[in-house]
């Protein structure tokens, strides 16, 4: 079976994680700091705060900004549900904006219509590792006095006009889930150039504990969103290979795009000017003549694991019922959800396998 993804760990990472396990000091040790230092250097940002997963990163970000009841947060209608779920968990309201079909990210032209007097945050998602249109999003945020928090869960290393995704907004959130370019099993990070927010995030991730005059006190109602030190060791050593890991993903994507060229039923990812894509997911849109569930099943029978790309949030039971959405409220999100297909990407996949996958997709959509 060609798996949708398979994590890669350099031998030093496994050795270091094993050494941490043997040491008995499993939480908040030297590797947490080392991993944070590598991340902030790579992203050219002042602070990186690693946490237990990408959802925790998003949740803490909104908590650190004091987002709560009565507030609205603008999110794309097409994303992993965590983007909107954390808004709900803060007691605020997620307001959906449809996406563009070239980048699968929030369509800037539709943001202004979604802004109300209660809007506090715009939360763009760099979907599948492709950057959202950050010039326009930042401009809209500035002109309305709004804060930008980037959901860069899939986008470690992605760039928009030579600047790394996750560093445009006041806070940027990353995930290190196994399908991401680097993984700590579960894991996440928040990055920022704001000193006060960084220290607040560190307190919030650690039960609300703050050192005052050498003594610990609980100064905020925090959570336990810490990353363990053995996870951080895995992340730290993968950071030395990040450029290579991203290059490999781009090579795979190029091979898919070449292999699928001329296949009129399949729209391959667009490469947009000024933006890079790290292809956390290689995601194609399949013509509506074909049922993607059947296609996924047939590919599976041929030894190829695929999946849908992301969710149209407005058709998920919770959001549909809570906000009385209709299917056609966000047509591009719905189409991407129904007709999107994620093809296998991993360090272990070779040219012949990619050729085979392309041949099967072409045969099944001929
Ligand atoms: C866009 C987006 N945001 C948030 C998350 C949540 O990250 P995690 O699974 O690390 O909690 C994901 C997970 O894949 C994601 O794709």
pLDDT in tens, the chain (366 residues): 999 999 999 999 999 999 999 999 999 889 999 999 999 999 999 999 999 999 999 999 999 999 999 999 999 999 999 999 999 999 999 999 999 999 999 999 999 999 999 999 999 999 999 999 999 999 999 999 999 999 999 999 999 999 999 999 999 999 999 999 999 999 999 999 999 999 999 999 999 999 999 999 999 999 999 999 999 999 999 999 999 999 999 999 999 999 999 899 999 999 899 999 999 999 999 999 999 999 999 999 999 999 999 999 999 999 999 999 999 999 999 999 999 999 999 999 999 999 999 999 999 999
Same domain, 249 and 223: no
Per-residue b/e over 11-26, b at no fewer than 16 CB within 10 Å?
eebeebbeebeeeeee
Q: How far is the CA of 187 from the centre of ligand 1 (A)?
A: 10
Residue pair 228/51 in contact by the 8 Å Cβ criterion: no
**CB of 51 closer than 6 A to ligand 1?**
no
Please name which of 280, 268, 271, 277 lies closest in space to residue 357, comparing C-alpha atoms: 268
| Phi-psi group of 304: left, alpha or beta (phi > 0 → left; psi -120 to 50 → alpha; rest → beta) | beta
pLDDT at residue 112, as a whole number: 97
DSSP 130: B
**Within a domain: 120:** yes
Task: Please say which residue of 239, 265, 286 terminates a domain.
Answer: 239
Q: Which atom of ligand 1 is nearest to the CA of 82?
A: 4
**Within a domain: 27:** yes
Q: Which atom of ligand 1 is nearest to the CA of 187?
A: 10
**Within a domain: 301:** yes
- Rounded Cα distance between 127 and 155, Å, is 8
**CB of 151 closer than 6 A to ligand 1?**
yes
φ/ψ of 263, rounded to 5, equals -90, 100
Residue pair 77/114 in contact by the 8 Å Cβ criterion: no
- Rounded Cα distance between 49 and 60, Å, is 10
**CB of 59 closer than 6 A to ligand 1?**
no
Domain region containing 192 = 11-239
**CB of 238 closer than 6 A to ligand 1?**
no
Same domain, 145 and 94: yes
pLDDT at residue 271, as a whole number: 87
- Rounded Cα distance between 149 and 87, Å, is 12
- Rounded Cα distance between 174 and 263, Å, is 34
Count of residues making up the chain: 366
Q: Which two tokens stand for residue 247?
A: 């290059």
Q: The domain that contains 128 carries what CATH number?
A: 3.40.640.10
**CB of 76 closer than 6 A to ligand 1?**
no
Task: Please say which residue of 194, 223, 239 terminates a domain.
Answer: 239
**Within a domain: 6:** no
**Within a domain: 146:** yes
Helices (H), the chain: 11-23, 30-43, 54-64, 82-89, 111-114, 134-144, 195-205, 229-239, 242-259, 292-301, 317-323, 331-339, 351-364
Same domain, 217 and 72: yes
**Within a domain: 359:** yes
Task: Please say which residue of 209, 239, 269 terminates a domain.
Answer: 239
Same domain, 249 and 235: no
Q: Which two tokens stand for residue 137?
A: 């999003």
**Within a domain: 233:** yes
Same domain, 280 and 254: yes
**How many independent structural domains does the chain possess?**
2
Other Cβ atoms closer than 10 A to 139: 12
Same domain, 200 and 170: yes
- Rounded Cα distance between 210 and 188, Å, is 21
Same domain, 79 and 209: yes
**Within a domain: 71:** yes
φ/ψ of 174, rounded to 5, equals -125, 155
- Mutual angle of helices 11-23 and 229-239, in 10-degree steps: 160
pLDDT at residue 28, as a whole number: 83
Same domain, 229 and 304: no
Same domain, 119 and 204: yes
**CB of 80 closer than 6 A to ligand 1?**
yes
CA distances from 31 to 28, 181, 343 (A): 8, 19, 33
Same domain, 235 and 147: yes
Please name which of 110, 316, 346, 341 lies closest in space to residue 251, comparing C-alpha atoms: 346
**CB of 175 closer than 6 A to ligand 1?**
yes
Same domain, 260 and 341: yes
**CB of 157 closer than 6 A to ligand 1?**
no
Q: The domain that contains 313 carries what CATH number?
A: 3.90.1150.10
Same domain, 182 and 53: yes
Q: Which atom of ligand 1 is nearest to the CA of 58?
A: 4
pTM for the full predicted model = 0.98
């Amino acid at each position: 079976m060609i798996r949708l993804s398979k994590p890669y760990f350099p031998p030093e990472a496994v050795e270091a994680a094993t050494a941490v396990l043997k040491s008995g000091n499993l939480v908040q040790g030297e590797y947490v700091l080392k991993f944070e230092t590598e991340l902030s250097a790579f992203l050219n940002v002042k602070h990186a705060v690693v946490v237990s997963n990408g959802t925790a990163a998003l949740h803490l970000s909104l908590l650190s900004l004091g987002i709560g009841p009565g507030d609205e947060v603008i999110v794309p209608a097409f994303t992993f549900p965590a983007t909107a779920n954390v808004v709900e968990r803060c007691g605020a309201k997620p307001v959906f904006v449809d996406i563009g079909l070239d980048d699968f990210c929030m369509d800037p032209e539709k943001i202004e219509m979604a802004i109300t007097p209660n809007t506090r945050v715009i939360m763009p998602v760099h979907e599948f590792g492709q950057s959202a249109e950050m010039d326009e999003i930042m401009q809209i945020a500035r002109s309305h006095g709004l804060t930008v928090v980037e959901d860069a869960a899939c986008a470690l290393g992605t760039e928009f006009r030579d600047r790394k995704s996750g560093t445009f907004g006041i806070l940027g959130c990353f995930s290190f889930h196994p399908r991401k370019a680097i993984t700590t099993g579960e894991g996440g990070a928040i990055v920022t150039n704001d000193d006060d927010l960084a220290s607040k995030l560190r307190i919030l991730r650690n039960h609300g504990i703050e050192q005052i005059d050498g003594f610990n006190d609980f100064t905020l109602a925090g959570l336990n969103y810490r990353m363990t030190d053995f996870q951080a060791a895995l992340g730290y050593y993968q950071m030395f290979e990040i450029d290579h890991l991203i290059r490999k993903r781009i090579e795979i994507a190029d091979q898919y795009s070449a292999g699928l060229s001329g296949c009129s039923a399949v729209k391959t990812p667009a490469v947009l000017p000024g933006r890079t894509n790290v292809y956390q997911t290689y995601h194609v849109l399949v013509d509506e003549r074909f049922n993607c569930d059947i296609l996924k099943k047939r590919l599976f029978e041929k030894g190829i694991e695929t999946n849908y790309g992301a969710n149209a949030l407005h058709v998920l039971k919770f959001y549909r019922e809570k906000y009385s959405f209709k299917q056609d409220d966000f047509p591009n999100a719905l189409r991407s959800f129904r007709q999107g297909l994620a093809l296998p990407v991993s360090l272990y996949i070779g040219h012949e396998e990619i050729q085979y996958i392309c041949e099967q997709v072409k045969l099944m959509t001929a």
